């Protein structure tokens, strides 16, 4: 009997002498909600974090704006989103950051209540003690300076030990793999790479409550966007047990760029994603949620 998609093994790929086997699992879409706002700062959301059993949200705009919001729910459906506060993401001198300097793309919540933000344009990661606080910019190694101007740190995540993981959207190793940069509180290193598969590019990452590393990817065509979600077990010797949880057709969702993985009140694993509307009337800010296999 031919195995179903939940257990199907994709043909192994040989990359840099290593075999990467992939298992396909089935994630189930729960809902999609169009979040609308009229303020001039509203839009361009590139990162999201869900907490308080799915009732609270932190969203980050790529124009250096941080937003807190309450999520109203009816069972598995989002019924409304109410903004409870918004702040500019400031520079290390406490100034607002216009243009490419303020191209904020990824967010990771620190255990002490602060948060980290990754930036394109001027490639860097900065720590903020609270909303509205000045930035404390982490050291920038030489490898950061050669990254693509509009293809750098879209994805940022933090593990259970407080270590940061950042991935460039476009830059690849000489073997064609996705480099993963890790900050351990002292130095940046590249402990492992992830396999590039097809035209999808990483735009968000998160460590779930199950300890696995999740990466949201995007592919762009002339008629719309495609999205894919992959995850790995991360051990001392690198990533393993790669799984593809979903891969959409063109136009299924808008430009999904942010990812948060969490458990709901029933103990189920969920993935919430947010779209970047690029401040264009033809696009929308969309929150999409999937039920993920454990």
3-class SS of residue 99: helix
Half-sphere exposure of residue 133: CA atoms within 13 angstroms, side-chain side: 14
Q: What is the pLDDT of residue 2?
A: 39
Average pLDDT, the chain: 91
Phi, psi of 145 (to 5 degrees): -70, -20
Asked if 271 and 229 touch (Cβ cutoff 8 Å), the reply is yes
Q: Over the stretch 17-45, which tens digit does the pLDDT of each residue have?
A: 344 689 999 999 999 999 999 999 999 99
Residue 158 falls in which region: left (phi positive, over 0), alpha (psi -120 to 50) or beta: beta
Q: How large is the average pLDDT for residues 185-206?
A: 96
What share of the chain in percent tops pLDDT 90?
84
69-89 exposure pattern, b = at least 16 Cβ within 10 A, e = fewer: bebebeeeebeebeeeebbbb
pTM of the model: 0.92
Provide the 3-class DSSP secondary structure of residue 102: helix
pLDDT, one tens digit per residue, over 69-100 is 999 999 999 999 999 999 999 999 999 998 88
Q: Dmax of the chain from CA atoms?
A: 64
Residue 28 has a CB neighbour count (10 Å cut-off) of 12
Return d(Cα 172, Cα 220) in angstroms, integer. Answer: 18
What pLDDT is recorded for position 20? 62
pLDDT above 70 for 183: yes
Question: At CA 213, angle to CA 210 and CA 216, rounded to 5?
Answer: 120
Give CA angle at 172 (168, 174), nearest 5°: 155
Distance CA 158, CA 89 (A): 19
Rg for the chain, CA atoms, rounded: 18
Residue 11: pLDDT band by 50, 70, 90 thresholds?
Answer: very low
User: Measuring CA to CA, which residue among 209, 48, 186 is closest to residue 115?
Assistant: 48
What CA–CA distance (Å, rounded) separates 178 from 172?
Answer: 5
What is the rounded CA–CA span in Å between residue 218 and residue 275? 11
The residue among 191, 214, 220, 215 whose CA lies nearest residue 203 is 215
Asked whether residue 13 carries a pLDDT value surpassing 70, the answer given is no
Give the Cα separation of 258 and 47 in Å (integer).
4
Q: In which region does residue 43 sit, left (phi positive, over 0), alpha (psi from -120 to 50) or beta (all else)?
A: left
pLDDT digits (tens, 9 = 90+) for 220-274: 888 899 999 999 999 987 899 999 999 999 999 999 999 999 999 999 999 999 9
Cα of first residue to Cα of last residue in the chain, in angstroms, is 24
pLDDT at 1 over 60: no
pLDDT tens, position by position, 153-177: 999 999 999 999 999 999 999 999 9
């Amino acid at each position: 009997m031919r195995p179903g998609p939940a257990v199907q093994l994709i043909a192994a790929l040989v990359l840099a002498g290593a075999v990467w086997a992939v298992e396909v699992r089935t994630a189930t879409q729960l809902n999609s909600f169009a979040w609308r706002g009229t303020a001039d700062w509203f839009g361009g959301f590139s990162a999201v974090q869900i907490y308080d059993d799915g009732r609270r949200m932190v969203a980050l705009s790529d124009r250096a704006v941080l937003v807190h919001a309450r999520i109203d729910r009816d069972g598995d459906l989002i019924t409304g989103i109410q903004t409870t506060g918004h702040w500019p993401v400031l520079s290390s001198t406490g100034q607002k950051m216009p243009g490419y300097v303020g191209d904020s793309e990824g967010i990771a919540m620190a255990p002490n209540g602060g948060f980290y933000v990754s930036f394109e344009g001027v490639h860097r990661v900065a720590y903020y003690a609270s909303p509205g606080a000045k930035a404390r910019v982490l050291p920038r190694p030489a490898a950061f300076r050669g990254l693509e101007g509009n293809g750098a740190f879209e994805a940022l995540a933090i593990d259970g030990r407080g270590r940061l993981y950042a991935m460039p959207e476009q830059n690849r190793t000489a073997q064609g793999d996705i480099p993963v940069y890790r900050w351990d509180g002292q130095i940046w290193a590249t402990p492992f790479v992830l396999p590039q598969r097809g035209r999808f590019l990483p735009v968000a990452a998160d460590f779930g409550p199950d300890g696995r590393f999740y990466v949201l990817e995007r592919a762009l065509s002339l008629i719309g966007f495609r999205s894919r979600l992959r995850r790995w077990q991360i051990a001392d010797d690198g990533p393993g047990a790669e799984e593809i949880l979903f891969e959409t057709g063109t136009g299924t969702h808008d430009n999904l760029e942010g990812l948060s993985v969490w458990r709901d009140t029933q103990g189920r694993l969920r993935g919430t994603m947010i779209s970047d509307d690029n401040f264009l009337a033809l696009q929308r800010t969309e929150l999409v949620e999937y039920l993920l296999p454990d």
